[in-house]
Amino acid sequence: MTEPLRVLLKPGRSKPFWVGHPWVFSGAIKKVVGEIGDLGGEAVVEDERGNVLGTGYYNPHGKIALRILQHRRSTDLTFTPRPPADVVRERLALAVGRRKNLGFPSRDTDGYRLVNAEGDSLPGLIVDRWANVAVIHLGSRGMVTLRDVIVDEVKRLEGIDSVVVATTEDASKLEAIPVERELVHGNLDGPITIQERGVRYKVDVLGGQKTGFYADQRENRVRFAKLCPGETVLDLFSYVGGFGLHAARAGARAVMSVDSSNSAIESAATNVALNGLDSVVQVQCTDAMNWLKESRSLGRTWSRIIVDPPKFARGRKHAAEALKKYARLNTLAMSVLEPGGLMLTCSCSQHVSDADFLRMLTDAGHRGRHSVQIHEVWTQGADHPFSAVAPEGRYLTAVLLSKGA
């Protein structure tokens, strides 16, 4: 058996890892001892004094050079690394137990996140459950090496009949791992139907974005829908119609769902019909910024607006430019918000903090010559936990606001 690599850290760089942070960037590494090869491998991490602080997987091509799977926590503790496969099996079981404690699945919800990477101490691994189908997203080379173990454990879970394994192009670029989306267990003959707080969706787990659906906004969709009875609603970047469907089901008078993706809008139309909401919800395939500019010029307004764009900042160096894009978008969106109306505006860019996002909204309000009142700040649902030591896992900011004078 090949000896694990030894990853030696630079002086003064070990503290985050003693307290449990899972990511080691290349800038913190002094040198790597051992036969690295082209793909890297299992590694022992040592501080500048030679103390072992944990084990993980070293990837010479990864933006994150090493992801720690097992932490020693203290030099007072004897540390004997366990086989990674055993650790993954144990933590998968713990993640499933957490979801059961949170009430997933339930009578009206069978689509949710089963494993949320670092939030469940499984860095680089996401598992979403859509009814009786599990979609495994492999986001690191370490998890790719454990692919068969993960599949075997997931397909044994109660109620799972089919398993899909996926790796996105983004993950492929960051980790130098192959792109894939493959049915590895069971049968699928097309989209499946899931429930989210009673709203039904058709989900294409083999052809949809990422793991087929976005469950992180579930509770925010429900919260905002409660504010929509009798109102006119504009759902921007609607994807498959989530916010708009919940608003319509809650009693909105009229809903317009806008997305630039033709496939997303086709799915949204299917979901509108599936829920019997054709008389309330309209869908429009167009660019959101152009839609807002045209609406402003025509004097159209809505009493409730949702702004939920895709990630604008792919990395820390893109954060400043992302905030400029958010400012332009939110300035336009607020310009078509009726006086006394409410808007929910979101960022799923982990490199844009709550504080930065709120400052951006101040700037957007200034551009529109009005103040911005913040009513609440929401985040991702409970099935998307993040580690206290790695707040980067808290990536979603959703701000409920209104316009002032």
Residues in the chain: 405
Active-site option among 228, 285, 346, 348: 348
Q: What gap in Å lies between CA 46 and CA 10, rounded to an integer?
A: 9
- Please enumerate, as own/partner, the contacts of 93-102 that have beta carbons within 8 Å and a separation of 24 or more: 93/153, 94/120, 94/121, 95/120, 95/122, 95/127, 96/157, 98/385, 99/383, 102/382, 102/383
Q: What gap in Å lies between CA 142 and CA 270, rounded to an integer?
A: 38
By CB neighbour count within 10 A (0-12 exposed, 13-18 middle, 19+ buried), where does 233 fall?
A: buried
Picking from 307, 309, 305, 332, the residue whose alpha carbon sits closest to that of residue 228 is 305
Show the 3-state SS of 85-116: HHHHHHHHHHHHHHHHHCCCCECCECEEEEEE
Residue 29 backbone class (left: φ over 0; alpha: ψ -120 to 50; beta: rest): beta
Q: What gap in Å lies between CA 235 and CA 217, rounded to an integer?
A: 13
For this structure, is 228 an active site residue? no
Angle between helices 354-367 and 319-335 (to 10 degrees): 50
3-state SS assignment for residue 130: strand
CB 227 within 8 A of CB 248: no
**Encoding tokens for residue 241?**
């119609």
List the Cα angle 224/228/229 in 5-degree steps. 140
| Residue 123: DSSP 8-state | T
Q: What gap in Å lies between CA 191 and CA 162, rounded to an integer?
A: 13
CB 83 within 8 A of CB 358: no
**Encoding tokens for residue 323?**
């905030």
> What are the catalytic residues?
348
